[in-house]
Amino acid sequence: MSETNGITANGVSEQTHTPSQRYLSTRGEDSGLSFEEVVLKGLATDGGLYIPEEIPQAADWQSWKDLSFVDLAFNILSLYISPAEIPPADLKDIIQRSYATFRSEQVTPLIHLKDNIHLLELFHGPTFAFKDVALQFLGNLFEYFLVRRNAGKTGRDRYHLTVVGATSGDTGSAAIYGLRGKKDVSVFMLHPKGRVSPIQELQMTTVLDANVHNLAVAGNFDNCQDIVKALFADPEINATHRLGAVNSINWARILAQTVYYFHSYFALARSPAAPSGFKLGDKVRFSVPSGNFGDILAGYFAYRMGLPVDKLIVATNENDILDRFFKTGRYEKNTSSNSADPVKETLSPAMDILVSSNFERLLWFLAYEFAATAGLDDAWNKKQAGQEVSVWLRDLKTKGGFGPVHDDILSAGRRTFESERVSDEETLATIRDLYRQVGYVLDPHTAVGVEAARRSATRTPEGVPIISLSTAHPAKFAGAVNLALKDEEGFDFEAKVLPPEFVGLDKKEKRVQDVANDWKAVRDVVRAGVEEELKAAEASS
């Protein structure tokens, strides 16, 4: 199965370059896929998530210390994407175009927040949230693969991708900005009508490109997700349309996010605010506001590639399934709530989840390491890991949870991860504290991460700095920010927080279609929308 040699017991390839990186499913029934296949398919046929067969080692990572974001991204992504699949010059061009849309020259700048805590600002992309880092790249990748598949093809012979997604806010706008105007791709983004923040809604609906379809569903976010799931499971639409996914289970999103872990580490090493004597090779902690576990999983890959990570801090809000796992070894849906909706609405809505979809990928690696302690061959270890994950995920579905997992699996997880749960009240207090102490305005998601970092700092060995990931611009979550800061002397949201790009957004032309909470009605809308685009393409060719 594996085409690489020199695999150590923990599955790390000793080669610095993997000439033909292949992918397998976490549930063990799908393997040998190319990067292009996993990007276009999203979810594996056995219901699992794709992971690389080997995690490549970034053997000469220290020599990357002065590279620009784009050059660094190129080196890292080249370890996962073979030149036979995407020629190096093309990959470089895709990366360059993806990050040219960012407002900061450093793409993801690192600033010193306070004491030993540094803030990695990931919100300088088109929609002011960290999801742009991955979705700008994914949009260009889709386009690249489609252009190549469609060379010499015309009209209905062309491979047309129909992206269907549900959003409670950030994913939708970032996906729309990643895909707007791209040839051979249509995007249908479902949001619960009137239930996303006004800025988020405007960011989506003011995009007027013909291939972007905003659907306002008469229902809640769960209804939107159910409609999307029904469409992906529907044989009829799958017979006529190639459906694509852009949610965080797409491997390319995780991969793109590994870059800023390296980039921020180097920025810290250069920073005058780094602990005195800090040098390349010294460890850092990362604190990551987490929902679906995609962002922090990228940190895990960076660590496995060789970045000196002391701990990855999983920061959750009151939807705390991840925090409970790392404390107890049990992964269980929240049943403590009396309300009909087990997902609690919090001030950090992009982290309001019941289960974390990407956690399955970490579970696979933990199960694989555990299997490897038995010392059999690598193929057997991988098979064991796939079976273990399948059973866990089945129990999650049928019994609402699983665990406690084996002690050795939990301790392996705890060697790399620690976790914190931050309530809404603590989130507001953190926004207020940092504003008073250093005059910086945190968005509520970022505040969850910063509070977790502050707690972790009391436990870090002397001198280990913490990089806390800032996942959104505070203006996107005006409600929470105002709630925290309205009584602060001299605080003025419009002067202090609001970026010029948001001013006048509400006066712009909008494009959005109301739809019923009915998947078949949505299916009709999707068919009609794609048909209209295909006709327009035919007419213009």
Ligand X SMILES: *Cc1c(COP(=O)(O)O)cnc(C)c1O
Q: What is the DSSP string of 224-274?
A: HHHHHHHHHH-HHHHHH-EEE--STTSHHHHHHHHHHHHHHHHHHHH-TTS
The reply to whether 248 sits near ligand X by the rule CB under 6 A is yes
b/e map 262-285, b = 16+ CB within 10 Å: bbbbbbbbebebbeeebeeebbbb
125 with 173: CB under 8 angstroms? Answer: no
**Contact range with ligand X by CB under 6 A, out of 18-26, 77-85, 284-292, 500-508:** 284-292
Cα torsion angle, 438, 440, 444, 448, sign:
negative
Residue 344 annotated as catalytic: no
Secondary structure string (H, E, C) spanning 363-398: HHHHHHHHHHCCCCCHHHHHHHHHHHHHHHHHHHHH
- Of the pair 131, 160, the CB lying nearest ligand X is at 131
- Of the pair 11, 291, the CB lying nearest ligand X is at 291
The reply to whether 351 sits near ligand X by the rule CB under 6 A is yes
CB 508 → ligand X: shortest distance, Å?
23
Residue list 70-129, contact with ligand X (CB under 6 A): 129
- Of the pair 139, 529, the CB lying nearest ligand X is at 139
The reply to whether 290 sits near ligand X by the rule CB under 6 A is yes
Residue of the chain from 42, 125, 244, 291 that contacts ligand X (CB under 6 A): 291
- Alpha-carbon distance values, 223 to 167, 192, 354 (Å): 11, 8, 14
The reply to whether 460 sits near ligand X by the rule CB under 6 A is no
Residues 6+ away with beta carbon under 8 Å from 380: 371
Quick one: which H or E segment has residue 216? strand 212-217
- Of the pair 145, 177, the CB lying nearest ligand X is at 177
**Contact range with ligand X by CB under 6 A, out of 262-270, 274-282, 283-291, 487-495:** 283-291
Residue of the chain from 131, 213, 285, 421 that contacts ligand X (CB under 6 A): 131
Q: What is the DSSP string of 385-431?
A: HHHHHHHHHHHHHHHSEE-PPPHHHHHHHHHHEEEEE--HHHHHHHH
The reply to whether 185 sits near ligand X by the rule CB under 6 A is no
Three-class SS state of 137:
helix
| Interatomic CA distance for residues 141 and 175, integer angstroms | 13
Binding mask 38-67 for ligand X (x = CB under 6 A): ------------------------------
The first and second tokens of residue 456, run together, are: 């972790």
| Interatomic CA distance for residues 436 and 406, integer angstroms | 45
Residue of the chain from 135, 471, 481, 523 that contacts ligand X (CB under 6 A): 471
The reply to whether 470 sits near ligand X by the rule CB under 6 A is no
Q: How many residues bind ligand X (CB under 6 A)?
A: 16
- Of the pair 21, 200, the CB lying nearest ligand X is at 200
β-strand partners of 23 = 33, 52
The reply to whether 170 sits near ligand X by the rule CB under 6 A is yes
The reply to whether 472 sits near ligand X by the rule CB under 6 A is yes
161 with 539: CB under 8 angstroms? Answer: no
Cα torsion angle, 366, 372, 377, 381, sign:
negative
**Contact range with ligand X by CB under 6 A, out of 96-104, 286-294, 370-378, 505-513:** 286-294
- Of the pair 274, 314, the CB lying nearest ligand X is at 314
| Interatomic CA distance for residues 63 and 60, integer angstroms | 6
Binding mask 416-455 for ligand X (x = CB under 6 A): -----------------------------x----------
Q: What is the DSSP string of 36-78?
A: HHHHHH-B-TTS-BEEESSBPP-TTGGGGTT--HHHHHHHHHH
| Interatomic CA distance for residues 530 and 171, integer angstroms | 21
Residue of the chain from 125, 294, 329, 413 that contacts ligand X (CB under 6 A): 294
**Contact range with ligand X by CB under 6 A, out of 65-73, 139-147, 293-301, 393-401:** 293-301
Write down the catalytic residue from 41, 131, 182, 311. 131
CB 129 → ligand X: shortest distance, Å?
5
CB 359 → ligand X: shortest distance, Å?
9
CB 291 → ligand X: shortest distance, Å?
4
Positions marked catalytic:
131
Give the binding site for ligand X (CB under 6 A).
129, 131, 170, 248, 289-295, 350-351, 445, 471-472
